[in-house]
């Protein structure tokens, strides 16, 4: 069964098209990665699925029911972990979870039990009576997750839940995603951290300018670009001139710099590493290291969008 179906979804803000005729299906049991750079349209899509925004056109189905015609059903089956923390500082951790679970219609003993269960799930049971203002960023994120899962939704959408938190909390959140999935939840996980998506997602869609430009397992996506090699050259100082010159070398499909690391995707069949290094040296670059890698998801993203994920 499809837990989510998006058909021909478009959202315009004035003349600007944030989501452009998008179609997408997520099957029960998937951890579905929704990958895109800043402004690609991920959050707008999530806001449409959670009915915070109304589509300009198109349809959305949760568990095969149109969300506009079955708004209560859609709400009960959906848990959203928003990008911006949605927790109240002046309520305790437990009160926060109870408040959100209450919005989904839970009452009485069931409300108390589910709220405590959700707090335990994110490892905050000993902090039930504490106020989030005293929490670390990672603890706040975990509380945010507890608020979204207490009503036991079938579909959980997490919008960049690991932004700006410590590695320990990040690992905790990734483990929670897996555990929720094992418990039967379907997860949509948006991120612009490629490694996370590669690590936990069974299927990945790449979104760019409001469109899905690729959709498949990691292996399927990589198989679309296996004729490319990935060369990384760390320089003392990289600048735009280097990028422009490299782009004119035969075989180089694209080159981009992040900090002082130049990433080049080049035709596997053309032996041009010597030429690339010579070009850099001739243009006064000081080379710190050179590495050639197998193609990965990042290669796919860069090839398809012409940009690094975190530009």
List residues binding ligand ATP (CB under 6 A).
13, 16, 18, 36, 38-44, 83, 192
Tokens found for residue 268: 């596997």
Of 82 and 295, which CB lies nearer to ligand ATP in the complex structure? 82
From the CB of 28, what's the least distance to ligand ATP, in Å?
25
From the CB of 34, what's the least distance to ligand ATP, in Å?
9
From the CB of 67, what's the least distance to ligand ATP, in Å?
18
Of 84 and 282, which CB lies nearer to ligand ATP in the complex structure? 84
Of 36 and 251, which CB lies nearer to ligand ATP in the complex structure? 36
Of 185 and 207, which CB lies nearer to ligand ATP in the complex structure? 207
From the CB of 19, what's the least distance to ligand ATP, in Å?
7
Measured CA to CA, the distance from residue 298 to residue 157 in angstroms comes to: 23
Measured at the CA of 170, the angle between CA 167 and CA 171, to 5 degrees, comes to: 90
- How do beta strands 252-258 and 261-267 pair? antiparallel
From the CB of 159, what's the least distance to ligand ATP, in Å?
7
Residue whose entry in the numeric block shows the structure tokens 């590493």: 273
Q: Which residues pair with 189 in a beta bridge?
A: 33, 158
- How do beta strands 287-293 and 228-235 pair? antiparallel
From the CB of 192, what's the least distance to ligand ATP, in Å?
6
Of 170 and 229, which CB lies nearer to ligand ATP in the complex structure? 170
* Whether 62 contacts 3, CB under 8 Å: yes
Measured CA to CA, the distance from residue 79 to residue 81 in angstroms comes to: 7
* Whether 276 contacts 291, CB under 8 Å: no
From the CB of 155, what's the least distance to ligand ATP, in Å?
18
* Torsion angle of C-alpha atoms 186, 81, 212, 195, degrees rounded to 10: -80
Of 159 and 230, which CB lies nearer to ligand ATP in the complex structure? 159
From the CB of 208, what's the least distance to ligand ATP, in Å?
9
Burial of 215 (0-12, 13-18, 19+ CB in 10 A): middle
Of 21 and 83, which CB lies nearer to ligand ATP in the complex structure? 83
Of 83 and 260, which CB lies nearer to ligand ATP in the complex structure? 83
* Whether 21 contacts 11, CB under 8 Å: no
Among 176, 294, 154, residue whose Cα is nearest residue 225: 294
* Whether 190 contacts 46, CB under 8 Å: yes
* Whether 50 contacts 67, CB under 8 Å: no
From the CB of 289, what's the least distance to ligand ATP, in Å?
30
Of 5 and 160, which CB lies nearer to ligand ATP in the complex structure? 160
C-alpha distances in Å from residue 156, one per residue of 65, 93, 190: 16, 20, 11
């Amino acid at each position: 069964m499809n837990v989510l179906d998006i058909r021909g979804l478009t959202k315009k803000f004035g003349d600007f098209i944030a989501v452009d005729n998008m179609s997408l299906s997520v099957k029960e049991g998937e951890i579905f990665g929704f990958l895109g750079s800043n402004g690609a349209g991920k959050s707008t899509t999530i806001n449409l699925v959670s009915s915070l925004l109304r589509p300009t056109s198109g349809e959305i189905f949760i568990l095969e029911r149109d969300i506009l015609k079955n708004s209560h059903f859609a709400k009960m089956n959906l848990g959203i972990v928003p990008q911006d923390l949605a927790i109240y500082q002046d309520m305790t951790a437990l009160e926060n979870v109870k408040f959100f679970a209450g919005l989904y219609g839970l009452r009485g003993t069931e409300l108390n039990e589910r709220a405590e269960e959700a707090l335990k799930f994110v490892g905050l049971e000993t902090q039930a009576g504490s106020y989030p203002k005293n929490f670390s960023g990672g603890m706040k994120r975990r509380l945010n997750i507890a608020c979204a899962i207490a009503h036991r939704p079938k579909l959980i959408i997490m919008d960049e839940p690991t932004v700006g938190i410590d590695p320990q909390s990040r690992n905790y959140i990734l483990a929670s995603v897996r555990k929720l999935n094992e418990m039967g939840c379907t997860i949509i996980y948006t991120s612009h951290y490629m490694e996370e998506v590669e690590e936990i997602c069974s299927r990945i869609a790449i979104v760019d300018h409001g469109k899905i430009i690729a959709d498949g397992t990691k292996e399927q996506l990589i198989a679309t670009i296996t004729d490319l090699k990935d060369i990384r050259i760390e320089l003392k100082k990289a600048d735009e001139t280097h990028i422009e010159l490299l782009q004119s070398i035969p075989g180089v499909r694209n080159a981009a710099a992040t900090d002082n690391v130049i990433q080049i995707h080049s035709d596997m069949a053309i032996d041009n590493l010597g030429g690339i290094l010579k070009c850099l040296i001739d243009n006064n670059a000081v080379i710190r290291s050179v590495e050639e890698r197998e193609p990965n998801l990042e290669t796919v993203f860069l090839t398809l969008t012409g940009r690094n994920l975190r530009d």
